[in-house]
Every structure is written in structure tokens, then in C-alpha cells.
Structure 1
Amino acid sequence: MTMGNHPMLTAMARLLVVKATAGTDAPERCSQAFTVASTAAASGVDVSFWLTGESAWFAVPGRAQTFVLPHAAPLADLLDVLLTEGRVTLCTQCAARRALGPDDVLPGVRIAGAAVFVEEIMRDDAQALVY
């Protein structure tokens, strides 16, 4: 049995955990993380997307709209897919270092720390990618 039009995705639910560590400081790496995670989410994969390091800024309303990378999908569109089809988490320490709290982030973004990340990646059905 397959999910959607993607024969490689099996009916068995797996969790894909993607940690983005780069922002405008490494735009290609940042875009790759968002692209892979949003493509998986749009394909029916259970996705948990983590914003860490400089990517933490994309949890703030309007920040994704300012990101531009030639020949890449708009980051704001990819983030919308992740907020709609997956889960988006802002790292607790990364938020604190940037003085960001729950009132500063987009609706649907949770703030959580390493214990939650470790819990997710240690699941038997999880695959973790770090960009």
C-alpha cells in the first residue's frame, strides 16, 4: 500500500525530524532544510521541523518573507506548508538567546528544548536530518 502518488512512501507512518541550523548566514543549507521538510510534509510524511541557530529567526512573523535565494522556492511558502502539514518547533535556548518568547512567534510554532528533540529522534520509527 502506498501513500498518495508517492510509491516509495509506505503506509507505515514514520516520523521525519529535520533540524535547520542555518539561516541567512548559510542560505543554501537553510533552503535545503525547508525544501526537504516541506516536500516530505506535502507528501504525507509526519514531519517535525526544528528551527535552531540562525534559522530561529524564521519563527518570527515576516522573517521568512525577507529570505531570498535564486532558483529556490520562497521560504515563506515552505514554512506555510510545514505549519499546516507538520509541526514546527523553535529551540528553547535559541529563542532565549534572541529574546524570543511565545508572543513573538508565528501561530503554531511551539518552543521546546533538547529533551523533546531527543525524544523525537529516538523513536523507533524516526529518521533525523540535520542541515
Structure 2
Amino acid sequence: MNRTLVIKATSGEEDPERCNQAFTVAAAAAAAGVDVSLWLTGEAAWYAVPGRAASFRLPHAAPLPDLLEGVLAAGRVTVCTQCAARRDLTAQDLIDGVRIAGAPAFVEETLQDGAQALVY
């Protein structure tokens, strides 16, 4: 059975360790060949905008742009519909390969056989 790891990042610069943990776990899983879906919600939605991840700083952490690139290369990245709307973000504002989707898509992903969801 193929397993899918669905990770929801709910924070950004206001809680850098929690934010970094979500990206680190997603990138590590993607590098290991796991089917990964990373959801960016709340302030984490900003990291789907080109150049924004480069401003993220956390000592002893891998650079956020590198982690995001790793997930995009081997998995999926989604920005929450409502989170994007609250920040006036559209699909044209986002990094190539990042989609915008809502709660129904998140629920569908997390309820599939073999899925494991983590929320940070």
C-alpha cells in the first residue's frame, strides 16, 4: 500500500520553529520517496509567493526555499483558499506548481486509504 503524508503548516514568522518543522518533515518525507502534500495555511501561505521564503530565518535550520523546492520537486504544495483570499493572493501570485484549494480537497486527501495527516 502506498502511504501519503499530508502536512498542514499553520504558522509563519510568528512561530518559526513550528513552521520550520512542517517544512522539514515534508521535505524529508519527499526526499525519502513518500507521497507528500504540504498545505500552507494562515501566515504560512506567504511562503508560496516567490521570494518570500528567502526572508525566513531560524538558526540551525535548513533554508526554507530549499525545503520548499524539495517538496515541490517530489510532492504537492497547496495554499488554503480562504487563507489566500484573506491575503489577496491569487494563483498568479504563487510559485509555479503551487495550487489553491479549500477544505473539501484537504478532507479528501486526509481521508484516503493510507493517508497520514500532521498539523504543525
Q: TM-score, normalised by structure 2?
A: 0.99
> Which consecutive residues of structure 1, in runs of 5 or more, have no partner in the other structure?
1-11
**Seq. identity, %:** 69
Give the structure 2 partner of residue 6 of structure 1. Answer: none
Q: Which has the bigger relative contact order, CA under 8 A and spacing at least 6? A: 2
Shift in Å, 1:124: 1.6
Query: Which residue does 2:78 correspond to in 1?
Result: 89
Q: 2:18 aligns with which of 19, 22, 29?
A: 29
Secondary structure of 1:28's aligned partner: helix
Partner Cα distance (2:37, 2:119) in 1: 12
**Distance in 1 of aligned mates of 2:38 and 2:82:** 16
**Distance apart, 1:122 and its partner CA:** 0.5
Structure 2 unpaired stretches of 5+: none
* Residue 19 in structure 1 maps to residue 1 in structure 2: no
SS in 2 for 1:40: helix
- Runs of 4 or more off by more than 4 Å in structure 1? none
Q: Does 1:127 align with 2:119?
A: no
Letter of the structure 2 residue corresponding to residue 54 of structure 1: E
Query: Which one has the largest radius of gyration?
Result: 1
Q: 1:1-131 residue pairs with structure 2 within 5 A?
A: 12-131=1-120
Larger helix proportion of the pair? 2
Deviations 1:18-50 (A, max 9, x none): 000010010000000000010000000000000
Please provide the CA RMSD for this pair. 0.5
Give the Cα–Cα distance (whole angstroms) in 1 for the partners of residues 97 and 14 of structure 2: 25
In the alignment, the residues of structure 2 paired with residue 103 and residue 70 of structure 1 have an alpha-carbon distance, to the nearest angstrom, of 32
Matched AA of 1:128? A
Per the TM alignment, residue 13 of structure 1 is displaced from its structure 2 partner at its CA by: 1.3
